[in-house]
Chains A and B, each alone.
Chain A
Amino acid sequence: MKAKVAPARILVVEDNSLNRLLVHDILELRGHAVVEAATVDEACHWLEHERPDLLLLDVQIPGGGGEAVIREVRQHAHLADLPIIAVTSLAMPGDRERLLSIGFQGYLSKPIDTRTFGAAIESYLKSPEGPVHARQAG
């Protein structure tokens, strides 16, 4: 089925080009616009002037890792409340909690399931009153 949410613009930060392509295809097929970044620098550069509706971040990306991107996002007022979702193959117990505590709103582990990935991402986009904003208000 087509995405039930409004089409969104999603920044995908991932250094592996095949993974990037797969995520790109899945999101695009569901009607979203995808911006790709292969490095931390590329992502930060783009984020200086633009705001996506959602940021999908490979946590182990070289160049400071996902945490460097989180720090960058915090420096910009126009990026306040931006939902940031971690995609990671870190499968250590406690990772999820650690990632959520440093500013990620969600966590998806690799390998991704093409049948469910799109819907999982969209759950963070659903509505203006979604979990992200609710948390911020509270």
Chain B
Amino acid sequence: MPDRPAESPVTVLVVDDNFQNREVAEGHLVGAGYQAVQAESGEEALARLATERPDLILLDVLMPGLDGFETCRRIRALPGGTDIPILFLTALGDLGTHKAALDSGADDFLTKPINRTELLIRVRSLLRIKALSDAQTRNLALISRQRDALVEAQRQKEELTALIVHDLKNPLSSILSNVQYALGQETLGDDERESLRDVLRASQSMVRMVMNLLDISRSEDGALVPHLTEFQLDGLLREVSSEMERRIEDKQQKLELVVAPDVRAMTADRDLLRRILENLIDNAYKYGPRRATIRIEAALLPRGGSAVADTLELRVRDQGEGIPLAFREKIFEKYARVDGRSAHEVRNSHGLGLVFCRRAVELHGGEIWVEENPGRGSCFCVRLALRTGAPRAAGADGEAGVGAVAGAAAIAI
């Protein structure tokens, strides 16, 4: 019998003013392997509970002094008093008594005279319920402790990552500036120049990764705040393009920049926007074949009836393999899982760059998504309000409202 008292004996406190009733109950209980303790009044029961902790209480209703109801209420008011199952002994067929018993905090009731099987069945089932509820309480506490430990471990891990990434920045900048200096030397042979160019490309790509990681972690801490300035967008686009052209030339890829004539000044974090573009172009470069063309388009969306701000749309079209529908949202998520493939596998194919892009775009109240490029490959789309106000995260002042509304308008495509 798995649920019978095995390790430590189960103790039942029998409270009844009638000696014979107590003896009968005790006889049944002891016969079934339980331990019984007797109390002849509610007062004595309460006194015993100050020092003893029975596993179950059998409580008579009609007793001189404290009756069963009052005794039950007082037991329930004791510290831990709600944990002990209480089984009332009531007069036969008195429905009012049954209701009063349950109202005063009883778990169950039995009608007298006590029937052995019925008594033992109820005792056993109450003990079973109590064991289950105890186990549940223990498990909940355990799960909650484990959860706290996991959250703390995760926090420490992210802190460590942020620290390492931060410390990588300085040596990387040093490599970068020294390679650039070396490349400026006129005496270099072609082979040396070519290998230094490789070093330059590799360190630029590492700088980009480090910056992405840093900004993702900053955005999680709420510390990534855009520095808004007004600048010429077409100028930025040309600047980024000419720089990236050098990066992509080893795969003999071409950049095509199509800027609508009305794209001029905009207000945003210039550096973040620059890095969004770099990441998107880098992505197109990595997954495009040799001799592919990467096309960048910038245009203003026609002002709709309800749109209160002009919206800029940037598109970066590549000629890669394209992204399956199931991945199109996941590639922007840090802990993505698609069809049992881990975030690692997903990210291996698309990099943390896209995670950074989404954080940076959202910081401006904008939207970023990917769609199929007609013909071949993917088209990454970014929509930003031309005049981003204060960052969305910073609160609900007037200008932030403009950014948010523009973002909302951009969703409705």
Contact = CB atoms under 8 A, between A and B. Distances in A.
Interface of A: 1-2, 22, 25-26, 28-30, 114-115, 117-118
A120 B117 CA distance: 13
5 contacts: A25-B121, A29-B121, A115-B115, A117-B117, A118-B117
Give me the 10 closest cross-chain CB pairs, A-B, nearest first.
A115-B115, A114-B118, A29-B120, A114-B121, A115-B118, A25-B121, A118-B117, A114-B117, A26-B117, A29-B117
A50 B117 CA distance: 28
A114 B1 CA distance: 19
Contacts of A1: 116
Contacts, number: 26
Interface of A is mostly: helix
A50 B349 CA distance: 61
B125 A2 contact: no
B31 to A, nearest CB: 7
Given A22-B121, A114-B121, A29 B115 contact: no
B150 interface: no
B151 to A, nearest CB: 37
A118 B120 CA distance: 13
Contacts of A117: 117
Contacts of A118: 117
A2 B117 CA distance: 9
B124 interface: yes
Interface of B is mostly: helix
Interface of B: 1, 31-32, 115-118, 120-121, 124-125
A25 B125 contact: yes
B69 to A, nearest CB: 25
Contacts of B121: 22, 25-26, 29, 114
Nearest to A22: B121
A25 B118 contact: no
A45 to B, nearest CB: 23
A114 B123 CA distance: 13
A114 B115 contact: yes
A122 B1 CA distance: 21
Contacts of A2: 31
A2 to B, nearest CB: 7
A106 to B, nearest CB: 19
Contact of A30 (B1, B117, B124): B117
B31 A25 contact: no
A26 B118 CA distance: 8
Contacts of B120: 25, 29
B275 to A, nearest CB: 61
Most buried by B among A22, A25, A26: A25
Nearest to A18: B125
Contacts of B31: 2
Contacts of A25: 120-121, 124-125
Contacts of A114: 115, 117-118, 121
Contacts of A22: 121
B387 to A, nearest CB: 66
B125 A29 contact: no
Most buried by A among B31, B32, B120, B121: B121
A2 B115 CA distance: 11
Most buried by B among A2, A26, A29, A30: A29
Contacts of B124: 25, 29
A29 B1 CA distance: 10
Nearest to B125: A25
B117 A115 contact: yes
A118 B125 CA distance: 17
A110 to B, nearest CB: 16
Given A25-B121, A25-B124, 7 more contacts: A26-B117, A26-B121, A29-B116, A29-B121, A114-B115, A115-B117, A118-B117
Contacts of A29: 32, 116-117, 120-121, 124
A56 to B, nearest CB: 16
Nearest to A27: B117
A117 B115 CA distance: 12
A30 B120 CA distance: 10
Nearest to B120: A29
A113 to B, nearest CB: 9
Contacts of B32: 29
Contact of B1 (A26, A28, A115): A28
A28 B33 CA distance: 13
A2 B32 CA distance: 10
A100 to B, nearest CB: 26
B32 to A, nearest CB: 7
